[in-house]
Each structure stands twice: as structure tokens, then as C-alpha cells.
Amino acid sequence: MQAYSGTNNTGFIHRLDARTKMAVAAGVSIVVVCLKEPLPLALIGIMGFFFLLSTGRFRLMALAYLFIGLMLITAAGCAIPIIKLLKGSDASYADFLVPFLRIIATMNVVLAMALSNRIQGMLSALKSLRLPLFIYLPTSATIRFIPVFMEDVRQIRESLKIRGFHIGVKSLFLHPILTLRLMFAPLVIRALRSADDLGMAAELKGIGLTTSSTHHNPTRLGFRDAFTLLFWVLLLGLSLGIEFGPLKEMLP
């Protein structure tokens, strides 16, 4: 099986080193846990949205945001009545939005990394960090599994459409049990097969060998990587300054 990849594009994000995108994703994931205010989280989310937009995978972006939107609507239907009942306490709608802003901010950079990296690039980047095999192999395979899983979902929907079943948001609300039944079993089988194929692909690429491998196109950090890292360091520093630093006193 050929792994589904969006790396045929030659845009800015595809030319970045895998280590740069991994550092951005790790930094955002750590910082958003420390933030509790909607403004800095929204700032990171907006910049992450443009970061993900540069991959050119607009349909997958729409599906990801649709899924987040459905989660938000479902949670709002349960949480908003509770917030209204607790109106006299410290509960607010901002507190309700913070977890979703964290999810969106993290999702943007992780998806951007997954959709713009080949598994070989991630394996080489992780191995260059001198990480043990049991850490970098599952990590890279898990990240690479995201676009493969999305392609599996698309193929299952197409096969069901040929058989007369139109699976979508409408069917999920009108016939939830039937939709889940039609999608669940094929997805589990495809996911297991994809995971096995990714593992075999990693083994065929020489992962786990005691001897060092020579790469035809060795990865090097360049000006784009330095600019991207500097931009995200400044952005994350600004977000922390808005949350904890002197900028907090300057904002209304």
C-alpha cells in the first residue's frame, strides 16, 4: 500500500525540515496547556490555521474543523444550560471555549506536520535527536497514520456511496446507529491493515538496524527553518506575555 501523502506540493511548509515542524508542534502543545485566557489561545489558533492552510489540503481541513464544530455544538448543548444555572458563580462562556481553543491550536500544527511530512523524513529527524527506537518509531508511525486514516475514511465513504449509502453529516444525525455500523467495522479493519503496512514500510527502510544508514537527500536546517522557528518563538512568547506578563495589564 502506498501511504497517502500530501507532500507532492512544493509550498513553503513542505520545504521546512521535519525537525522544525516537530519543534513547532511540541512548543504549541506545551504552551497551550499553560494558557487559560481565550485571547492568547485564539492568537495561536489563528496563526496555526494559516500554517495548516499552507499545506493546500483544504478538504481535509474542512473535515477536521467540521468534526471540531460538531464536538463544540454537542458540548454547548450540555454545558450552556449548566452555565446558566451557575450564573451567580464564576462560570462563564469563556471558560467553556478555552478547551476547544486548545484543541484547535494543537490540531492545526499537528495536522500541518502530519500532512507535509513523509514518514522517512520524520524517522530521520527523530533518529537524529538520538532517541531510542521504541520512542521514535511509534511516534513517527502515529503521526503518519493521520493522513492514511483520513484516506481510509474517504475510500470507505466512496465504496458505500457505490452501494447506495450516502454517509455524511445528515445521515449521522438522521440514522446514527446505521451510519456508525456501516463505518465502524471497515474502519477498524482498514486501520489495522494501515498500521501493519506502515510498520512494514519502516522495517523495509532499515529502521532498527545497528549500522548507520546513508540518506540520498540529507536534511539540513536552512533559512526557512530559522525564520519559522523565530516566528513561532516570538508568537508563543507574546501569548505567554498576554497571559502572565506586563501585556496583561495593558489589555482591557
Which contiguous run of DSSP H or E holds residue 161? helix 133-162
pLDDT higher at 15 or 42 = 42
pTM above 0.85, yes or no: no
pLDDT higher at 251 or 113 = 113
Residues 142 and 64 placed together within one structural domain of the fold = no
pLDDT of amino acid 50: 92
Residue 175 lies in a domain: yes
Residue 3 lies in a domain: no
Average pLDDT in the chain: 76
**Numbers of helices and strands, H then E, in the chain:** 10, 0
The average pLDDT across 53-72 equals: 82
Q: What are the residues whose beta carbons fall under 8 Å from the beta carbon of 115, sequence distance 6 or more? A: 5, 6, 7, 52, 55, 57, 60, 146, 147
Neighbours of 90 (CB within 10 A): 6
Of the candidates 251, 239, 207, 249, the one whose C-alpha atom is nearest the C-alpha of residue 32 is: 239
CA 1 vs CA 69, 201, 228: distances in Å = 32, 9, 33
pLDDT higher at 190 or 92 = 190
pLDDT digits (tens, 9 = 90+) for 3-31: 444 444 556 788 888 888 888 998 999 99
pLDDT higher at 93 or 48 = 48
Q: What is the domain range of residue 206? A: 120-212
Residues 160 and 75 placed together within one structural domain of the fold = no
d(CA 11, CA 227): 15
pLDDT digits (tens, 9 = 90+) for 180-227: 777 778 888 887 887 777 767 766 766 655 555 555 555 567 888 899
- Cell numbers representing residue 154 in the block: 474517504
Task: Give the chain's length.
Answer: 252
Residue 163 lies in a domain: yes
